[in-house]
Structure 1
Amino acid sequence: MTGGPGPVLRFGVSEISPDADWPERAREAERLGYDTFATTDHLGLTAPFPSLVAAAAATTRIGVATYLTNTALWDPEVLAREVAGTDRLTGGRLSVGLHAGQTGSAATAGLTAQDRRDRLAETVDVLDRLLTDPAHRPRPLRSPRPALMIGAHEPDELELAARRADTVCFVGAELPPQGGFVLAGPEEFAERVATVRARASEFGRSPELNTGVKKIVVTDDRRAAADALRQALAPHLTAAQLLDLPTLLIGTHQEIAEQIRGAHDRYGLTSYMILAAHLYDFAPVIPLLRKG
Structure 2
Amino acid sequence: MKFGVSTFVTDDGIGPAPLGRALEERGFGSLFLAEHTHIPVARETPWPGGAELPRHYYRTYDPFVALSAAAAVTERLTVATGIALIVQRDPIVLAKEVASLDRVSGGRAVLGVGAGWNREEMRNHGTDPRTRMRLLRERVLAVKELWTKDEAEFHGEFVDFDPVYSYPKPVQDPHPPVLLGGSGPTTFDRVVEFGDGWMPIYGRGTEDLPNQIAELRERAGRRLPVTLFAVPPKAEVIAELEAAGADEILFDLPTAPEDETLRTLDELTKLF
Q: Is the TM-score greater than 0.5? A: yes
Task: Name the structure 1 match of 2:250.
Answer: 273
Task: Name the structure 1 match of 2:269.
Answer: 283
Does residue 47 of structure 1 match 2:67? no
Give 1 or 2: higher helix fraction: 1
Q: 1:61 to 1:191 in 2, by over 3 A?
A: closer
Q: CA deviation at 1:10?
A: 1.0
Does residue 14 of structure 1 match 2:6? yes
Q: CA deviation at 1:185?
A: 6.3
Q: CA deviation at 1:248?
A: 3.0
Q: Distance in 2 between matches of 1:40 and 1:88?
A: 21
Q: CA deviation at 1:211?
A: 0.9
Deviations 1:258-287 (A, max 9, x none): 43233222x21121112223533321112x
Q: 1:42 to 1:192 in 2, by over 3 A?
A: farther
Asked if 2 retains the 8 angstrom alpha-carbon contact of 1:103 and 1:111, the reply is no
What SS does the corresponding residue of 1:150 show, helix, strand or coil? strand
Question: Which of these residues, 27, 33, 36, is aligned with residue 30 of structure 2?
Answer: 36
Task: Name the structure 1 match of 2:192.
Answer: 162
Does residue 80 of structure 1 match 2:95? yes
Give the TM-score normalised by the residue count of structure 1: 0.70
What SS does the corresponding residue of 2:110 show, helix, strand or coil? strand
Task: Name the structure 2 match of 1:261.
Answer: 239
Asked if 2 retains the 8 angstrom alpha-carbon contact of 1:72 and 1:120, the reply is yes
Structure 2 runs not aligned, ≥5 long? 38-57, 152-165, 255-263
- How many residue pairs align between the two structures? 225
Q: Distance in 1 between matches of 2:144 and 2:9?
A: 30
What SS does the corresponding residue of 2:226 show, helix, strand or coil? strand
Q: Distance in 2 between matches of 1:16 and 1:48?
A: 9
Identity percentage of aligned residues: 27
Q: CA deviation at 1:33?
A: 0.5
Question: Which segment is superposed worse, 42-51 or 128-137?
Answer: 128-137
RMSD: 2.3
Q: Distance in 2 between matches of 1:111 and 1:97?
A: 19
Asked if 2 retains the 8 angstrom alpha-carbon contact of 1:152 and 1:161, the reply is no
Q: Distance in 2 between matches of 1:275 and 1:61?
A: 20
Asked if 1 retains the 8 angstrom alpha-carbon contact of 2:180 and 2:199, the reply is yes
Amino acid corresponding to residue 196 of structure 1 in structure 2 = L
Task: Name the structure 1 match of 2:228.
Answer: 211
Question: Which of these residues, 2, 18, 23, is aligned with residue 17 of structure 2?
Answer: 23
Q: 1:194 to 1:284 in 2, by over 3 A?
A: same
Q: Distance in 1 between matches of 2:144 and 2:93?
A: 13
In the TM superposition, what are the counterparts of 1:172-183 in structure 2 within 5 Å? 172=202, 183=204
Q: Distance in 1 between matches of 2:177 and 2:186?
A: 20
Task: Name the structure 2 match of 1:148.
Answer: 178
